């Protein structure tokens, strides 16, 4: 598993209202809007406290929710109270993601935050920005994560088009004095070139499209300094392929490479019918039946999974001239059956198929659709959830009816094995389960150390960490609480402890045994064992629990309820509702002293002796 070498700080997804203070035209192609107002600080919205905005990373992003261009209405996603927001269909139509160009919490009455907008005709955000005046307001969500400036390698390479320019500009401005950096930026016209100041030893190359220049060509011609770089690339998703190839040929460690498709060039969409912001389906019997069809159709998942397993999307991305014949050869599948799969994937916007230049279908051009473009990296979270352990867990739902009737774990798909037997028979799947848990932990663990009791952070009391992704939590505690002493409970893997930090000790442990520490941090205790009360009570110390808590009436994310059903079918465990945690704590002789959101949709609960 390739883990980014950049560190990350995680924050609850907070909602805030921002007011336009000033508007500045940087170039004919870029307009800067400076926001302010009380919303930059700590506020309460719909009874839910929102912390003050934090933006420490050069590529921090926010969701800006613009007024409805037809009605002027300003809907927002109400806070759920677990560090997430309820994104309705109406709000989803009105938000766009933008980079924070700079943030100065000490400026003015409440602080100031700048966002740079690319100027272009049409588009919800661009039209709003062109008309924006002081006093206008927008809702905003985030930043939900701030990642470190990657100056831990010998030098930094930044590549991007104008949509990446705000992040590149901020990175250059925040470089340490004398730090070596190379940047290549593609813009439409010579007049769009900006003056970018930096205290670092930075060299900026501009590629201007009106002169026939391109980001890929300019990056390919760049002289690389000696040493190991960190490479950050962002821009139009369809134009990143040659840059991926360049970086791969240079042999840069995958942990030091970051590619982000900020946008995708598509044909202009047809005008949507009905009232602006209407949900995809209205309250009618026809639309209910259509939704039923969409929800009950299992074919898309199986077809996309087959494409992932065969390596179709990676092959299309890797091949210089992807045709049906070339993709079939790369995937080890005959052209005719592959074409039948590709036709279906094309109907799902995962693949594009062109016209064959002659009579030979093998010459049919194959490309990536918006969905397929997200499935080209075998190590990505999206791909991992559609292959290996991620897919095997979904197969547990095939026998859901039997699990509901029988009340015991059922076989995984058609394997005839229970989940535990499946993991024992396939060690690679067990490793995949561990890897996926660590990937999920990366988006919660950085927010946990500051919540631990002061004696733990000061090293006066040892903390024991157990559960899925425990090594990531141990590593973050060691990083953010330098004095802490950490016991990593599990199978006693010394290598995992060493990777987590020099103050981390691996200890063999199983649920129900004492923690041997003054405090315990347990991740997802209900997923670890069917006896969460026995696990919590056996630790013998106060406990911090990290878990998702399901909203009992179905208002949480659908995938959270799906995971609960998978646990029922495969393991006989559950995803807890608040009442489940209260009951387990009481049975363990503990009480829930308080809870708070940590990360996104995840809760941290403090359990103390009753």
What are the sequence ranges of the domains in the chain? 8-147, 155-263, 289-384, 398-434, 438-609
Closest CA to 532 of 572, 502, 487: 572
Q: Between 492 and 534, name the one with better pLDDT.
A: 534
Read off the pLDDT band of 266 (50, 70, 90): low
Token pair in block for residue 537 = 């009570």
Contact 43, 16 (CB under 8 A): yes
Domain 8-147 falls under CATH 2.40.30.10: yes
Task: Summarize pLDDT for 84-96 with one digit per residue, the tens.
Answer: 899 998 999 999 9
Look up the CATH architecture of domain 155-263. 3-Layer(aba) Sandwich (3.40)
Confidence of residue 286 (pLDDT cuts 50, 70, 90): low
Distance from C-alpha of 182 to C-alpha of 196, rounded to nearest angstrom: 12
pLDDT in tens, 314-349: 999 999 999 999 999 999 999 999 999 999 999 999
What pLDDT does residue 504 have? 92
Distances (CA, A) of 208 to 189, 197, 439: 6, 20, 38
More confident residue, 395 or 603: 603
Banded model confidence at residue 171, pLDDT cuts 50, 70, 90:
very high
DSSP 481-532: STT--EEEEEB--HHHHHHH-TTEEEEE--TTS---SSEEEEE-HHHH-S-H
The pair phi, psi for residue 115, each rounded to 5°, is -130, 130
**Structure confidence by residue, pLDDT tens digits, 114-136:** 999 999 888 999 999 999 999 99
Structure tokens at 346: 């094309």
Question: Is 311 a residue whose pLDDT tops 60?
Answer: yes
Class of domain 289-384: mainly alpha
Q: What string of DSSP letters covers 387-422?
A: SHHHHHHHGGGGGHHHHHHH-S---STTS---HHHH
Q: Is the peptide bond before 118 cis (omega within 30 degrees of 0)?
A: no
Q: What is the pLDDT of residue 600?
A: 82
pLDDT value for 2: 58
Distance CA 292, CA 312 (A): 29
The answer to whether the pTM exceeds 0.85 is no
Q: For residue 284, is pLDDT > 70? A: no
Residue with the larger pLDDT of the pair 502 and 474? 474
Q: How far apart are CA 78 and CA 134, in angstroms?
A: 25
The pLDDT tens digits for 425-451 are 999 999 999 988 998 999 999 999 999
Q: What is the per-residue pLDDT for 317?
A: 92
Say yes or no to pLDDT of 81 above 90: no
Q: 380 falls in which pLDDT band (50, 70, 90)?
A: confident
pLDDT score of 287: 62
Res 271: pLDDT: 34
DSSP string, 71-102: T-------B-SSS-B---HHHHTTEEEEE--E
438-609: CATH topology is Rossmann fold (3.40.50)
Question: Could you tell me the pLDDT band of residue 276, with boundaries at 50, 70 and 90?
Answer: very low
Q: Which pLDDT tens digit goes with each residue over 7-41?
A: 999 998 999 999 999 999 999 999 999 999 999 99
In the sheet with 257-263, reading across from the earlier edge strand, the strands are: 201-208, 180-187, 155-161, 229-236, 257-263
DSSP state, 62? E
Residue 64 has pLDDT above 90, yes or no: yes
If you average pLDDT over residues 472-477, what whole number do you get?
94
Q: What is the pLDDT of residues 524-534, one digit of tens each?
A: 999 999 999 99
Would 155-263 and 438-609 be classified into the same CATH topology?
A: yes
CA distance 575 to 565: 9
- Each as own residue / partner, the long-range contacts of residues 128-132 (CB below 8 Å, 24 or more positions apart, any chain) are 128/66, 128/67, 128/69, 129/31, 129/33, 130/31, 132/20, 132/23, 132/33
Overall size of the chain counted in residues: 610
* Contact present, 262 and 236 (Cβ < 8 Å): yes
Is the per-residue pLDDT at 269 higher than 70?
A: no
Q: Strand pairing of 519-523 and 463-466?
A: parallel
Q: What would the pLDDT profile of 542-596 be if each residue is shown by its tens digit?
A: 999 999 999 887 777 788 999 999 999 999 999 999 999 999 999 999 999 999 9
* CA distances in angstroms from 428 to 87, 302, 389, 447, 533, listed in the order given: 36, 21, 9, 30, 30
Distance CA 601, CA 262 (A): 24
Percent of the chain with pLDDT over 90: 77
Confidence of residue 465 (pLDDT cuts 50, 70, 90): very high
Other Cβ atoms within 10 Å of 360 Cβ, number: 12
Q: Which residue has the higher pLDDT, 281 or 18?
A: 18
């Amino acid at each position: 598993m390739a883990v980014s070498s950049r560190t990350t700080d995680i924050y609850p997804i907070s909602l805030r209202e921002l007011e336009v203070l000033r508007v500045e035209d940087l170039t004919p192609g870029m307009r800067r809007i400076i926001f302010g107002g009380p919303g930059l600080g700590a506020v309460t919205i719909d009874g839910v406290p929102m912390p003050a905005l934090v933006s420490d990373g050069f590529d921090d992003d926010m969701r800006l929710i613009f007024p409805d261009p037809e009605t002027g209405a300003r809907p927002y996603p109400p806070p759920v109270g677990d560090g997430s927001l309820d994104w309705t269909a109406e709000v989803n139509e009105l938000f766009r993601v933008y980079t924070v160009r700079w943030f100065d919490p000490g400026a003015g009455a409440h602080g100031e935050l700048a966002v740079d907008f690319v100027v272009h005709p049409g588009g919800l955000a661009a039209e709003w920005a062109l008309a924006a005046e002081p006093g206008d307001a927008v809702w905003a969500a985030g930043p939900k994560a701030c990642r470190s400036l990657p100056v831990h390698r010998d030098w930094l390479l930044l590549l991007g088009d104008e949509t990446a320019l705000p992040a590149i500009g901020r990175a250059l401005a925040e470089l340490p004095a004398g730090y070596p950096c190379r940047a290549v930026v593609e813009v439409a016209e010579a007049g769009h070139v900006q003056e970018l100041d930096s205290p670092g030893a930075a060299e900026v190359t501009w590629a201007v499209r009106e002169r026939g220049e391109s980001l890929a060509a300019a990056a390919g011609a760049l002289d690389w300094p000696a040493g190991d770089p960190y490479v950050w690339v962002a821009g139009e998703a369809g134009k990143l392929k040659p840059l991926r190839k360049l970086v791969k040929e240079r042999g840069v460690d995958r942990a030091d490479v970051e590619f982000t498709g900020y946008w995708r060039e598509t044909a202009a969409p047809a005008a949507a019918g009905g009232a602006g912001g209407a949900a995809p389906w209205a309250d009618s019997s026809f639309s209910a039946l259509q939704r039923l069809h969409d929800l009950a159709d299992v074919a898309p998942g199986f077809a996309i999974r087959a494409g992932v397993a065969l390596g179709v999307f990676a092959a299309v991305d890797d091949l210089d001239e992807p045709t049906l014949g070339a993709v079939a050869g790369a995937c080890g599948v005959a052209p005719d059956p592959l074409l039948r799969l590709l036709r279906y994937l094309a109907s799902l916007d995962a693949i594009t198929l062109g016209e064959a230049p002659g009579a030979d279908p093998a010459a049919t051009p194959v490309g990536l659709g918006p969905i397929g473009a997200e499935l080209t990296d075998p190590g990505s979270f999206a791909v991992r959830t559609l292959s290996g352990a991620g897919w095997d867990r979904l197969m547990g739902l095939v026998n859901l009816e039997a699990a509901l009737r029988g009340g015991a774990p059922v076989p995984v798909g058609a394997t005839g094995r229970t989940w535990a037997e499946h993991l024992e028979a396939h060690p690679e799947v067990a490793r995949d389960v561990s890897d996926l848990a660590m990937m999920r932990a990366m988006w919660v663990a950085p927010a946990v150390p500051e919540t631990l009791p002061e004696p733990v952070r000061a090293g006066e009391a040892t903390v024991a960490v157990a559960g899925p992704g425990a090594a990531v939590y141990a590593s973050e505690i060691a990083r953010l609480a330098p004095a802490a002493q950490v016991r990593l409970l599990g199978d006693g893997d010394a290598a995992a402890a060493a990777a987590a930090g020099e103050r981390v000790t691996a200890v063999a442990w199983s649920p129900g045994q004492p923690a041997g520490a003054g405090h315990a941090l347990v991740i997802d205790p209900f997923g670890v064992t069917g006896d969460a009360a026995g696990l919590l009570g056996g630790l013998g110390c106060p406990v911090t629990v990290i878990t998702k808590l399901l909203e009992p009436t179905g208002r949480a994310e659908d995938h959270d309820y799906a995971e609960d059903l998978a646990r029922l079918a495969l393991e006989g465990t559950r995803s807890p509702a608040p009442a489940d945690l209260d009951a387990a704590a009481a049975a363990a002789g503990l009480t829930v002293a308080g809870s708070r959101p940590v990360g996104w949709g995840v809760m941290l609960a403090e359990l103390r002796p009753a």
